Amino acid sequence: MPAANHPAYQEELERCRYTLDYVGKTLEATLGKKEKLDKEVDRIKKHLNSDSSSNYVDLMVNTLLQGSMELKLRNLITARSKPYFARVDFQEDGKKDSEKLYIGKMSLMRDEDQQVIIVDWRAPIANLYYEERLGEAHYFCPDGDIQGKMLTKRQFSINEGILQDIFDIDITTNDDFLQSYLGASADNRLKEIVSTIQTEQNKIIRADMWRPMVVQGAAGSGKTTIALHRIAYLIYNHEKTLKPENFMIIAPNRLFLNYISEVLPELGVERVVQSTFESFAVDLLGKKFKVKDPNEKLALFMTRPGEPMSEESRKLFKATELKASMKFKTIMDRYVEHIEKDFIPKENFTIEGVIVYPYKEIDSLFKGEYKRWALVKRMDEIKKHLNNRLKSMKSKIINRLNDECDDRIMHLKETMEDNEERHKLIVEAIDKRDERIKRLESNAKKAVNDYIKRISKFSPWEYYFDLMKDTKLLLQLSVGLADTETVTYLAEYTNKVIKAGFIEVEDFAPLTYLKYLIYGIDEKIPVRQIIIDEAQDFSIFQLYALRKIIKDSSFTILGDLCQGIHSYRGIKDWKEVLAAVFEDKKPEYLTLEQSYRTSVEIMEAANDVISALGNEDFLKAKPVIRHGEPVKSVRVKDEKEMISDLCKQISDTRNDGLKSIAVICKTLEECISVHPKIAKAVPEANLITGKEDQYKGGIVVVPSYLSKGLEFDAVFIANAEQFGKSELDIKLLYVAMTRALHKLTLYYV
């Protein structure tokens, strides 16, 4: 209700003013400290002495302080506008008085007495707001399970420091409060979710960090915001043992990463690793590759309504499906076993004609005792064996050479008179012995290295490229896993791409897996929690390779099978992920069916579209009761009429206060055709091609497959008749429709 009409208005107004006043004083004091710190850092830099280690230590410490102070300042500046969003009154069992807890995006304590003014939403006690109802309530914290009663649960709408609305509630979010949030512009929604986190979302955010989790979330269920808030929550609650750098979020492309990039700093989180799988793989492999645009392949699988996929595209679809599957992982396992057979040279390790280590013993170590290790790591251990045996054998060989020399001298003395000839032969025997010992000492220093060098060790990509060239071997390794046509086509197509100087996204999983199997992972990757968003478009092989490479990490995987437009390489069934990737970790599987993005009218229309696939695993989204304009289908006689009406609708939509607008076409080619015609009337309209690193927002013309993960106040789907009845087209249309928050219009000829 409007704040002034609430019975506790005066109390809450005074509290709001008090908090804002304290935030202001703290901000002023922090700015002063920051100014002094900046001057100190400048002073140290000017007088930095290369001989003084203490100067370097001071600089490092003060630079770290600068970073934390900048974060505090950002939080305080945000708090000047919205210091908190909720209040809970909790009376702990056995205590006389209740606590009034005001919950916000940051914590704030009074310097004088350490009294808490604002409780951080990530604190254990804040869970009372998200999960408990009035009456008997409890929360878990390091001290255990704290029982008590919740006497008050209240929400506030505070903007620009003005207390606008107060809602007394029982469950997480009052309908009016949630409706006002859902009615907000797309520009602010990612940043404002913290005040409206629902119970089902909160369980995912606060779930055990070390138990892997897979989340099937409907379009608009808040998967991306949950992912980001989970990172913020885990960093806050594990700050004593983990750093932000121990967390990594993996997204499908750079554009998506840029779209979410502002949210983590808003949540008080810096330095989290943000990457795509391709970037991660390139860093791991230590080699840059030119990657073929994956959307070119997707375009090949798109057909005109009613037309079948071409024979060439059908072969490519099957070949890509194989390369992204766990069957291809098995082929890589078999390939490494093939490499293993002839990895060790079939020769004894000898020195001075003496067998130090027989081939059979070395091969037995390699294929037996160290079987579980990467090939090159096995050789590191075998090298130790060779060195130890050589060290032991060397003294025996020297003793034998001395004995042989002594025997020779004794024989000369017994069979020859003491003359110049005998003396000459004795000297020759001694010299020969000394020469052999010297040669032995010299050879011993490099004998092991020389033996190891004779073992062929190529880079992972050389091994991979060699296999792709050897179709006969690839067919042998694929027996029982794939048909001859698919394997032969896979080899031919991959070779063609490689010869053109490229590799594909699907090649990164086998490449990184080969690196793991052949070389192991030398560097300790410091990531402890990996959060993967839009996971339905990752291959199961990618997830498996990640799990093997960063074995000390736990995973939170979020996606929506209904939006799996890259099904030729992506996940088709979460059960396969649970079984194949996390078979030993007892992962948790959760679903989010409630959609908070779109109105009832838009979501029902989108559900009608996805229902055409008749797949029971594709959970329909349940929209929050927020009604809006009916979905419009506009029939036009040609493109000219469509563009004319589109431009008028964009203008009217902006006049209605909606800022974020998308014109979505099925393909990039359509977008390239439509964009300049729209831009004549709407010059600020940007074309998104997929090559952008930055998301500019505003008005965009975007292909359906690049709109995934984004959201807009209004969406206009151009040439909707181009979407046919194939699985891919139905998913693309579903994705395009579910981008809209408030307004959706489909144009068709």
pLDDT in tens, 196-226: 788 888 999 999 999 999 999 999 888 988 8
pLDDT average, residue stretch 401-407: 90
Find where tokens 């930095």 sit: 48
| Whether the predicted pLDDT of 190 surpasses 60 | no
Instruction: Decide if pLDDT at 181 tops 50.
Output: no
Question: First and final CA of the chain: distance in angstroms?
Answer: 47
Q: CA torsion sign, 199 to 204 to 210 to 212?
A: positive
User: What mean pLDDT is reported for the chain?
Assistant: 89
Give the mean model confidence (pLDDT) for residues 688-699.
Answer: 85
Q: Any idea which of 42-56, 126-140, 271-285, 405-419 has the lowest mean pLDDT?
A: 42-56
User: CA 75 to CA 84: how far, in whole Å?
Assistant: 12
Question: Is the per-residue pLDDT at 179 higher than 70?
Answer: no
Cβ atoms of 267 and 228 closer than 8 Å: yes
Share of the chain above pLDDT 70, in %: 95
Return the pLDDT at 518.
94
Cα–Cα nearest to 584, from 563, 611, 554:
554
**Is pLDDT of 722 > 80?**
yes
- The pLDDT of residue 677 is above 80: yes
Amino acid 407: pLDDT: 92
Residue 455 has pLDDT above 90, yes or no: no
d(CA 504, CA 316): 13
Number of alpha carbons in the 13 Å side-chain half-sphere of residue 143: 6
pLDDT of res. 170: 75
Q: What is the average pLDDT across 271-275?
A: 90
Do residues 126 and 202 lie in contact, with contact meaning Cβ atoms separated by under 8 Å?
no
Q: What is the pLDDT of residues 417-442, one digit of tens each?
A: 888 888 999 999 999 988 888 887 77
pLDDT, mean of residues 40-65:
70
Mean pLDDT, rounded, for 62-68: 73
Is the confidence at residue 311, as pLDDT, over 90? yes
The helix/strand/coil state of 162 is: strand
What's the pLDDT score for residue 514? 97
Q: What digits encode the pLDDT tens for the residues 341-394?
A: 988 888 898 887 788 889 999 999 999 999 999 999 998 888 899 888 888 888
Residue 529 has pLDDT above 70, yes or no: yes
Both tokens of residue 160? Answer: 């620009």
Confidence of residue 55 (pLDDT cuts 50, 70, 90): low
> Can you give the pLDDT at residue 473?
97
Residue entry with tokens 């130890």: 388
Q: What is the mean pLDDT of residues 436-460?
A: 82
Poorest-confidence range of 335-349, 469-483, 663-677?
A: 335-349
Question: Is 70 exceeded by the pLDDT of residue 319?
Answer: yes
Which of 733, 745, 740 minimizes the C-alpha distance to 608? 733
Residue owning tokens 């393909």: 667
C-alpha 274/C-alpha 389 separation (Å) is: 48
pTM of the model: 0.85
- Rounded Cα distance between 646 and 641, Å, is 8
Is pLDDT of 661 > 60?
yes
Sign, CA dihedral 402-403-409-412, equals negative
Q: Is the pLDDT of residue 449 over 60?
A: yes
Element (H, E) at 261: none
> How many Å apart are CA 181 and CA 159, to the nearest integer?
13
Q: Tell me the pLDDT tens digit for each residue of 87-107.
A: 999 999 999 999 999 999 889
Cα–Cα distance for residue pair 171/162, rounded to 1 Å: 25
pLDDT for the residue 40: 82
**Among candidate residues 550, 517, 515, 513, the one with its CA nearest the CA of residue 531:** 550
> In this predicted structure, what is the pLDDT of residue 451?
84
DSSP state of 291: B
What is the structure's pLDDT at 54?
64
pLDDT value of position 189: 43
Give the whole-angstrom CA distance, residue 70 versus residue 64: 10
* pLDDT range class, residue 443, cuts 50, 70, 90: confident
Segment among 321-330, 594-603, 712-721 with least mean pLDDT: 594-603
Distance separating alpha carbons of residues 451 and 391, to the nearest angstrom: 15
Tell me the mean pLDDT in the region 471-479: 97
Instruction: Please report the pLDDT score of residue 173 as a whole number.
Output: 47
pLDDT of residue 174: 46
The pLDDT, as a whole number, for residue 418 is: 87
Residue 652 has pLDDT above 70, yes or no: yes
The pLDDT-based confidence of 544 (bands split at 50, 70, 90) is very high
Q: What is the mean pLDDT of residues 599-607?
A: 94
Residue range 629-643: mean pLDDT, rounded: 96
The C-alpha atoms of residue 260 and residue 710 are separated, in whole angstroms, by 9
